[in-house]
Each structure stands twice: as C-alpha cells, then as structure tokens.
Amino acid sequence: MRMPSTTAALAAPLMMILSAACSSSLSTAPAQETGLDRTLPQVENRETNSYGVQYPTTDIGTAARKGSVAGQRIKNFKFLGYVNGDVASPLTTVALVDYFDPQQKLGPAPVKLIHIQAAGRWCVYCQNEVKDLTPQVEELRNLGIVWITTVAEGGTPGTASKLDDLNKWIAAYKVQNTTVLDPGNANLGIFYKAAALPWNAWVDARSMEIVSYLEGYGGNIRKEVDTELGKWDARPVKE
C-alpha cells in the first residue's frame, strides 16, 4: 500500500495502523463538487462561516504539517449530506467553511479540530471506526471536535457511493456525526491516487491548516483525540 508522503517521517510507528485499511481499485475521479446525481439538490457555493468570516484563500493544497513547518490549508470542499446524521432533515450542503472558527465562537462549543474520515460502505475497518465513534460523538463535540464522515464507496469495492449508500450507512450504525456523500472520492481523492479506506485527516479549525492524514484506523479514537487536542493547545495558528 502506498503511504501518503505526509506520513513518511512517521512510517515505522504507523505501519500497523496503515495495515488496518481496506483497499479497492477505484481510480480517483476528477475533483468535483456537484456531479453527484441530477435528481439531487445542487451543492451551494458557500464561502463564509456563520459569523461572516470568509474562508481563507491563501496556501491551499494537500501538504500536512511536518514538525514546526505548517501544513497547507485544505480547500473549502462542499458535499451533500446530513448534519449530525439527521436523515429526518433535508439533504443539505455541508461545507468545510461551516466549521471554520478563527474567532473560536461557534457553538455548542468552539470548534478546535475537524476530523475527516473517508469511508466505504463495504469496508470492515471503516465500519469498525464508525461503531467506535458513535457513542463518543456528543462528548467529542463538547471538546471542540467536529467529525465528518464522507461515504465514498458503496457496498462493493470500487463502486462510487450513491444516496442509498449514505442512507444505509447512517441507518446501519445509528450515525450521529455529520455524514456526507463523496462519490468515488471526487473531492478528497486529490490526497491519494487509489482508494484505500478508511482515510483519516485532522484539520485545525482556527486556520484550516492540514495537521495530518493517513490511511487506516488506529483503533482508539479517544486516545487519538486527546493527543491531537494536546498538540492543538501548543501549536501556533497558521497565518
């Protein structure tokens, strides 16, 4: 399995984590934000957060932080999905700018970190991760963690996800975190050439700096969260 260049410095301790990933042969689709299904709503072009601050436009890319060298900012990707896994509400646009919190005043708690998990409905490790996540979602939210799951593949490896896959995923695991469609990794595929799921990333909500990303699931969400929160406290905000 190819490891993302951003994790090269941590290769040895991460080998067991990276091995806990499902792989498929799905080729990365061109980056897109609207071409899901003509019967679905169009993705809204939203560039400001709820208190009127525009999403950063400088140093957008895919490079993660390396030691004291800041990572690039993640693009303001936009998806269709369900906020907090609430399928009783209409399918809606979920944009990363919704969680951009430079002034630390979003509610119910200021958003410190955004975790993005790319998953496939068929992927056992993805299933294990969301099963571990669901009982902790509310606690993580109160700690300032927003967890977004993007469903990239359906029930068969290599098949792009559809709305039915999103609904089945949410129902099967009683999902409570924001969960969206990213068919064939149309957005997040720029971070890797072939689907290797789950894929997990951490983003600093103060600046949208990419802190880290890797393939696989380490098996202990709370331990990982505590580690990342400790780093957040000590890390200077990217300018």
Give tens-digit pLDDT for 195-206: 689 999 999 999
Question: How big is the CA angle at 228 (ends 61 and 97), to the nearest 5 degrees?
Answer: 45
With tokens 């919704």, the residue in question is 98
Q: Are 182 and 161 in contact (CB under 8 A)?
A: yes
DSSP letters for 32-47: -SS-S-TTSPPPP---
Strand residues in the chain grouped as ranges (E): 22-27, 78-82, 92-95, 113-120, 145-153, 178-181, 194-197, 199-204, 209-215
| Mean pLDDT of all residues in 58-69 | 98
Residue 82: name the closest of 69, 91, 71, 73 by CA: 91
| Mean pLDDT of all residues in 227-237 | 97
| Mean pLDDT of all residues in 163-188 | 97
Give the chain's mean pLDDT: 88
**pLDDT of the residue at 12:** 39
**pLDDT of the residue at 23:** 65
Residue 118: name the closest of 54, 174, 185 by CA: 185
User: Which pair of structure tokens corresponds to residue 82?
Assistant: 């369900």
Record: fold of 56-232:
Glutaredoxin (3.40.30)
Spell out the domain ranges in the chain. 56-232
**pLDDT of the residue at 22:** 77
Residue 3 has pLDDT above 60, yes or no: no
**CA atoms lying within 13 Å on the CB side of residue 83:** 11
DSSP letters for 58-71: SSBSSPPPBTTBPP
